[in-house]
C-alpha cells in the first residue's frame, strides 16, 4: 500500500497528540502510586468505561475476529460473545464490591480476604504471574497484530515501525501514568472506531454492497454460505458445533478466566472500577464497556472479514492465514487520506492496549511484590520511579513473545486453556466465607496441570478427533468440560481439608465490603450491625436485563445489516426497553 503525504501527515499528527496528552499528566502522575495507577480515584464513569473498550480494542482484535469469521462464519464469534454473561455478572454483582474494597489492584484483594502464609504466597505468585508472563502473552499478541498490519501497509521495515509505536507508547504511559492512559484511550477509541467503520464501508462496497456480499459468499463458498451468515451455528456448520456453543453458554463464561473477562471482574477492568469516583460510577463504567464492546464494535470487523472472504477467494496466502484478509482490505480498497486514518487507527488500537498493559502490569509488580515484600518504607517518588522501570521491562518481554507467536488466535487459545476451570473460585470468594487462599492456589495449579496434560499428552487424537475444523472446536469443548470438572473437585476438596481464613480477617472483610449474608452467615452473626443494601435477587434481575440489552442490540444490528429490517427494529426496541429498566432500577442507588 502506498501512502501519500496526506496519509503520513495524519499519522504524524496522531503520534504528536498522543505524546502531548501523556506529557500533560506527568506532574500529576508523579505525586504518588495511587495517582500513577488509579488517577486519584476520581475518574468519571464514562471515561473509565470507554477506556476499557479502548484497551480491549487492540491491533490484533480486528485480525482475530476476521480469522474467527473466516473459519466459522458469524456464529464463530460466540467464543467471545458468550462472555457477555460474565461481563454483566461483574456489572451487577461485583462492581460495587470492588470499589468498596479500596484496594489498588485485584491481587491486593488477597491481602484483605485471606490470612496466613498461603495468602502471602498467593499474592506474590499472582503478582509475578499476571505482571510478567500473562502481560507478555497479551502484549506479544497485540504486537504481532501490529507487525502484520505494518508489514502489508508501509514500505518501512515492520519491526522498525513497531519500535516507533513502542517508543511513543512507553513515553506517554510511563510519564503520564493512568490519567494519561485514560485520556489517550478516549481519543484513540474514537479514531480506531472511525477507521474500522470506514474500512467496513469501503470493503463491502468493493464486493457490491451488502447484497453483493451475500451473493458473493454464495458464489465463492456454495452451500457453506448459509452457515457463514447465521448468528447461531447450524448442525451442518463447517466450524462451530452446537456442543461447543452449549459449552460456551453453559460453562465457559463462568468457568474460564481470560484477562478482561474474568468472572467477577479483574485485571484492567478492576483497575477502572478502583479508579472510579464512587460505587455507582464503578458499576456504570463496566456497564458502558460491555454495551459498547459487544454491540458497537463487532459488526464493522465482521463485515470486513466477510468481504475479504469474497474479495480474496482463491488467494492462497489469505486462505492459509485468514487474519491477513483484514490487512489486505486496507491496502487494496482504501483511498488516500483514509489510508492514513486507518493506519493511525491501528496505531491507536495498539497503543491503547499496550499502555494499559504496561500500567496495569507494573501495578502488580510494584504494589503487590516490590512495595510489601522487597522495600517497604521508600518514598512515593521512589515507587513511581520503580513503576516506570517495570513498565519498560514488560514492554521488552512483550516484544520477545511477539517473535515466537505465529498467529494471534494462538494467544487466545493459550489464555483460555490455562484459565479454564478457575472462574468459580473467583466468583465464590466474594460470596462464600469458606473459600481460602488454598482454594485459589489449588484451582490455579489444577487448571494449569490439567490443561497441559490435555493439550500436550492427550490431544485431539485421544478423543478420536483431528486438530482442525469442527474437530478442533469439539476438542476445545471437551477440554473446558474436563478441566472445569477436575479443577472444581480439587479446589472444593482442598477448601474443606485446609483451615479457613482466620475469623478476625473474615469479619473485617465482611464489614468493609458488605457482601451478601447468604454465604456469610457464620461471619454475619459476628457483625450483626452490618447493613446489606441490596441482596442477590435484585442483582439477578438486573443481570438478566443487562444480558438481554446486549444480545438484543447485537443481533438487532445484525438483522438490519444482513437480515430482516422489521426483525432488527423489533430486537433493538426490546434492547432499549431493557436498558431503560436497568437505568430506572439504578436510580437513587
In the DSSP assignment, the letter for residue 403 is: T
What is the predicted pLDDT for the residue at 342? 84
What is the predicted pLDDT for the residue at 502? 95
Q: Is the pLDDT of residue 358 over 80?
A: yes
- The larger pLDDT score, comparing residue 205 to residue 318, is at 205
What is the predicted pLDDT for the residue at 336? 83
Stretch 218-227: mean pLDDT: 82
Residue 502's Cβ-side half-sphere holds a number of Cα atoms within 13 Å equal to 9
Q: What is the band of 16 on the pLDDT scale with cuts at 50, 70, 90?
A: confident
What is the predicted pLDDT for the residue at 208? 93
Q: Is the pLDDT of residue 57 over 50?
A: yes
Q: What is the band of 88 on the pLDDT scale with cuts at 50, 70, 90?
A: very high
Kindly list the distances between the CA atom of residue 22 and the CA atoms of 120, 202, 398, 548, in Å, as whole numbers in the listed order: 35, 33, 21, 38
Stretch 105-133: mean pLDDT: 91
Stretch 66-86: mean pLDDT: 88
What is the predicted pLDDT for the residue at 155? 63
pLDDT 10s digits, 537-578: 888 999 999 999 999 999 999 999 998 899 999 999 999 999
What is the predicted pLDDT for the residue at 375? 92
Residue 44: phi and psi, rounded to 5, are -65, 150
Alpha carbons 238 and 160: distance in angstroms, whole number: 39
pLDDT 10s digits, 555-565: 999 999 998 89
- The larger pLDDT score, comparing residue 7 to residue 368, is at 368
Give every CB contact of residue 295 below 8 A, 6+ residues apart in sequence: 550, 553, 554, 557, 575
pLDDT 10s digits, 397-425: 877 777 666 544 454 555 556 667 888 99
pTM, whole model, 2 decimals? 0.89
Give every CB contact of residue 157 below 8 A, 6+ residues apart in sequence: none
Q: Is the pLDDT of residue 157 over 80?
A: no
Q: C-alpha 152: how far from its chain's center? A: 26
- The larger pLDDT score, comparing residue 117 to residue 451, is at 117
Amino acid at each position: 500500500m502506498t501512502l501519500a503525504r496526506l496519509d503520513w501527515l495524519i499519522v504524524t499528527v496522531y503520534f504528536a497528540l498522543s505524546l502531548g496528552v501523556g506529557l500533560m499528566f506527568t506532574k500529576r502522575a508523579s505525586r504518588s502510586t495511587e495517582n500513577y495507577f488509579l488517577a486519584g480515584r476520581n475518574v468519571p464513569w464514562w471515561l473509565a468505561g470507554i477506556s476499557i473498550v479502548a484497551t480491549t480494542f487492540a491491533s490484533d482484535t480486528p485480525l482475530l475476529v476476521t480469522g474467527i469469521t473466516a473459519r466459522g462464519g458469524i456464529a464463530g464469534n460466540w467464543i467471545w460473545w458468550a462472555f457477555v454473561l460474565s461481563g454483566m455478572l461483574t456489572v451487577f454483582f461485583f462492581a460495587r464490591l470492588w470499589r468498596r474494597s479500596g484496594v489498588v489492584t485485584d491481587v491486593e484483594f488477597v491481602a484483605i480476604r485471606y490470612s496466613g502464609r498461603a495468602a502471602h504466597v498467593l499474592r506474590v505468585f499472582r503478582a509475578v504471574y499476571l505482571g510478567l508472563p500473562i502481560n507478555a502473552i497479551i502484549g506479544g499478541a497485540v504486537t504481532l497484530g501490529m507487525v502484520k498490519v505494518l508489514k502489508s501497509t508501509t514500505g518501512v521495515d515492520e519491526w522498525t515501525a513497531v519500535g516507533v509505536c513502542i517508543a511513543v507508547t512507553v513515553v506517554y504511559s510511563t510519564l503520564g501514568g493512568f490519567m494519561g492512559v485514560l485520556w489517550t484511550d478516549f481519543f484513540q477509541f474514537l479514531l480506531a472506531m472511525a477507521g474500522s467503520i470506514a474500512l467496513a464501508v469501503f470493503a463491502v462496497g468493493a464486493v457490491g454492497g451488502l447484497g453483493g456480499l451475500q451473493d458473493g459468499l454464495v458464489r465463492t463458498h456454495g452451500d457453506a454460505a448459509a452457515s457463514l451468515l447465521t448468528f447461531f451455528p447450524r448442525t451442518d456448520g463447517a466450524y462451530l458445533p452446537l456442543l461447543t456453543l452449549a459449552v460456551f453458554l453453559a460453562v465457559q463464561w463462568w468457568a474460564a478466566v481470560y484477562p478482561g473477562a474474568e468472572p467477577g471482574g479483574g485485571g484492567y477492568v478492576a483497575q477502572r472500577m478502583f479508579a472510579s469516583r464512587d460505587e455507582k460510577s464503578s458499576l456504570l463504567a463496566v456497564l458502558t464497556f460491555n454495551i459498547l464492546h459487544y454491540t458497537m464494535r463487532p459488526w464493522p470487523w465482521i463485515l470486513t472479514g466477510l468481504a475479504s472472504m469474497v474479495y480474496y477467494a482463491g488467494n492462497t496466502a489469505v486462505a492459509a492465514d485468514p487474519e491477513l484478509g483484514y490487512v489486505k482490505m486496507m491496502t487494496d480498497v482504501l483511498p488516500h487520506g483514509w489510508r492514513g486514518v486507518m493506519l493511525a487507527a491501528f496505531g491507536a488500537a495498539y497503543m491503547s492496549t499496550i499502555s494499559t498493559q504496561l500500567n496495569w502490569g507494573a501495578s502488580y509488580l510494584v504494589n503487590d511484590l516490590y512495595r510489601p515484600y522487597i522495600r517497604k518504607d521508600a518514598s512515593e517518588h521512589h515507587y513511581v520511579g520503580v513503576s516506570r522501570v517495570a513498565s519498560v521491562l514488560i514492554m521488552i518481554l512483550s516484544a520477545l513473545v511477539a517473535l515466537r507467536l505465529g498467529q494471534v488466535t494462538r494467544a487466545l487459545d493459550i489464555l483460555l486453556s490455562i484459565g479454564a476451570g478457575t472462574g468459580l473460585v473467583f466468583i465464590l470468594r466474594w460470596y462464600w466465607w469458606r473459600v481460602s487462599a488454598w482454594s485459589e492456589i489449588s484451582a490455579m495449579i489444577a487448571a494449569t496441570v490439567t490443561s497441559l496434560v490435555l493439550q500436550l499428552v492427550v490431544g485431539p487424537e485421544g478423543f478420536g478427533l483431528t486438530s482442525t475444523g469442527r474437530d478442533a472446536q469439539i476438542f476445545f469443548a471437551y477440554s473446558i468440560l474436563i478441566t472445569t470438572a477436575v479443577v472444581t473437585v480439587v479446589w472444593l476438596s482442598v477448601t474443606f481439608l485446609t483451615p479457613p481464613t482466620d475469623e478476625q480477617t473474615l469479619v473485617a472483610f465482611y464489614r468493609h465490603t458488605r457482601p451478601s449474608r447468604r454465604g456469610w452467615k457464620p461471619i454475619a452473626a459476628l457483625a450483626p450491625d452490618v447493613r446489606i443494601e441490596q441482596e442477590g435477587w435484585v442483582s439477578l434481575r438486573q443481570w438478566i436485563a443487562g444480558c438481554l440489552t446486549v444480545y438484543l442490540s447485537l443481533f438487532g444490528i445484525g438483522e438490519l445489516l444482513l437480515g430482516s429490517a422489521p426483525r432488527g427494529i423489533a430486537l433493538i426496541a426490546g434492547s432499549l426497553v431493557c436498558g431503560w429498566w436497568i437505568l430506572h432500577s439504578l436510580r437513587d442507588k
